[in-house]
Amino acid sequence: MRKVVLLAVVLAAASSGIAVSSRQPVRARHAMVATREHHATDVGLAVLKSGGNAIDAAVAIGFALSVTHPSAGNVGGGGFLLARFADGRTTFIDFRERAPQKASRDMYIGPDGKATKDSLVGYRASGVPGTVRGLEMAHKKYGRKPWSELIEPAVQLASQGFPLSYGDARSLRSKHTSERLSRFPESKRIFLNDGKYFEPGDRLQQPELARTLQRVRDMGAKDFYEGETASPLAADMQAHGGLITLNDLKNYKAMERKPLEGAYRGYAIITAPPPSSGGVGILQILGVLEGTGYEKSGAGSAAATHFMTEAMRRYFADRSEYMGDPDFYKVPVSALLNPKYIGHLRQSIDPEQATGSPKLHPGNLGAYESAETTHYSIVDADGNAVAVTYTLNDGYGSAVTAEKLGFLLNNEMDDFAAKPGEPNDYGLIQGEANAIQPRKTPLSSMTPAIVLRDGKLYLVLGSPGGPTIINTVLEVFVNVVDFGMNIADAVDAPRFHHQWMPDALYMETGFSPDTIALLKARGYTIKMVNAQGEVAAILSENGWLEGSADPRTEGTARGY
Ligand code: DON
């Protein structure tokens, strides 16, 4: 038996050209949770075991992560929740941040005509947070358990504290993070132990956050947006030149949108519509790939990577021009996914040579390596599936902790085109479609996705990583569907990213040097990176649920 398995692994490695090490997913019969942080996974699993549905678990995990994974878990940020219920209904809750009323097109352009750093750090970087309203909307419409029961574990984790993991302690004392957080006394006090720093295993207690969460537990989102959380938040903003007012908070609305749907080789894909650029992205890229036979060369081969990269490059060029908030700009979704247009994109690919991206401004991928958004996936015992990606944007957001409230604020305003045509923090070039306007939603790349096979739930997945999210989700999907990997191997396999500009192919360590050499010969500029994305995925097959948190993280998958 062992010999057979070993042989299969060797054969897979030989045909794929990547360093394959077969890892087993976590398997369970009834329900499964996969998140980035183990306390949050346990909170979600307990909700499911005690009769809560996947939406209940999503709410409880969302609040738990705001305590236990402060770089990305949040109440001061926003995100997307995608659900597919066992009866076939689907929904997409957009609780992304919106630009404050006082925001304006050129607010981040300095006197020298260049984009400033204000969209990245400090009070002016934040959009109006949406997480609390979004989770409440999901719960009111689709939840089963009492709201207060779902927030309670987060309250306990914040008031009693929890031991910081190796990764989180290390992240908090990293040069980049500690410099940013030190600039704001409240952030320094809470997250840097007042400058003394935390060691792995130290308890992080957050009494101010516990009180904020208690109010949300007892009074609902109304407290956060109109009550005892809203007032000090607006006052703190006003005192430090931030734009968010009491009115902005009061007017914040989460929105329920129709998910974007598409098909690939008989699989139905349900995913994020605009203001995410991710759903359109994976559907266009898959459309370009379908029928090319690219997969025959094997995962990790130069030929397959070439085709995928060229499809990615073409989509990101479109993204820079056509994607924005659909409530402010008519996003040409059907044109971008039109089979004729996709056919034209496919034909423009030279099967042997890289197509150089037209010369524009050189980008930089400064924040590329600090993947700090977070995704979690849930399937409950009834077969309801939920995929949530939410974020503060950069790790620890704007680095500002709201005075007396204990939570970090997002720097999501940087997802707008601060200066259309110039690269943002992710090196992304974006156009007028994504220029700043009051109350507008910044364009996102977050791509929660749910895949059906023969009309039945098959795969739930998503990832952080800014623009790399789109390609990460795509790659895990094709690793399963086209390359036949189990979900754990599909998540482990080395990943790559191209976003048109800058004209570089970013590859994780783990690819074969031969593949890299072949790609260079095809004309690619290759840049090696340590890690791309943090996937949390669940696959449903033959009556089993198979979960995989990303081995790039300290995440866990657990089921029963
Ligand atoms: O919505 C977006 O596309 C970004 N704010 C996501 C940021 C992210 O994934 C951070 N991780 N690198």
Q: Establish whether 292 is a catalytic residue.
A: no
Backbone angles phi, psi at 437, to 5 degrees: -145, 150
pLDDT at residue 54, rounded to an integer: 98
Measuring from atom 8 of ligand 1, which residue has the nearest CA? 466
Using the structure block, give the residue that is written with the tokens 């943002």.
424
Find the angle CA(295)-CA(334)-CA(375) to the nearest 5 degrees.
60
Q: How far apart are CA 38 and CA 379, in angstroms?
A: 17
pLDDT at residue 22, rounded to an integer: 75
Cβ–ligand 1 contact at 259 (below 6 Å): no
pLDDT at residue 19, rounded to an integer: 43
Measuring from atom 2 of ligand 1, which residue has the nearest CA? 444
Cβ–ligand 1 contact at 442 (below 6 Å): no
Give the burial class of 296: count Cβ atoms within 10 A of its Cβ; 0-12 exposed, 13-18 middle, 19 or more buried: exposed
Which among 373, 391, 401, 472 is annotated as catalytic?
373
Q: How far apart are CA 535 and CA 540, in angstroms?
A: 16
> From the alpha carbon of 442, which atom of ligand 1 is closest?
1
Cβ–ligand 1 contact at 444 (below 6 Å): yes
pTM for the model: 0.94
CA of 345 to the centre of ligand 1 (A): 27
CA of 224 to the centre of ligand 1 (A): 23
Give the burial class of 134: count Cβ atoms within 10 A of its Cβ; 0-12 exposed, 13-18 middle, 19 or more buried: buried
Helix (H) or strand (E) holding 279: helix 278-289
Cβ–ligand 1 contact at 464 (below 6 Å): yes
CA of 369 to the centre of ligand 1 (A): 12
Regions of the chain with pLDDT less than 70:
1-21, 358-371
Q: Is the Cα dihedral 122, 123, 127, 128 positive or negative?
A: positive
CA of 526 to the centre of ligand 1 (A): 23
In order of their start, the domains of the chain are: 1-92+254-388+414-555 (3.60.20.40)
| Residues 429 and 320 sit within 8 Å (Cβ to Cβ) | yes
pLDDT at residue 426, rounded to an integer: 82
Measuring from atom 1 of ligand 1, which residue has the nearest CA? 444
B/e letters for 252-266, b = 16+ CB within 10 Å, e = fewer, are bebbebebbebebee
pLDDT at residue 361, rounded to an integer: 31
What's the gap between Cα 358 and its chain centre? 28
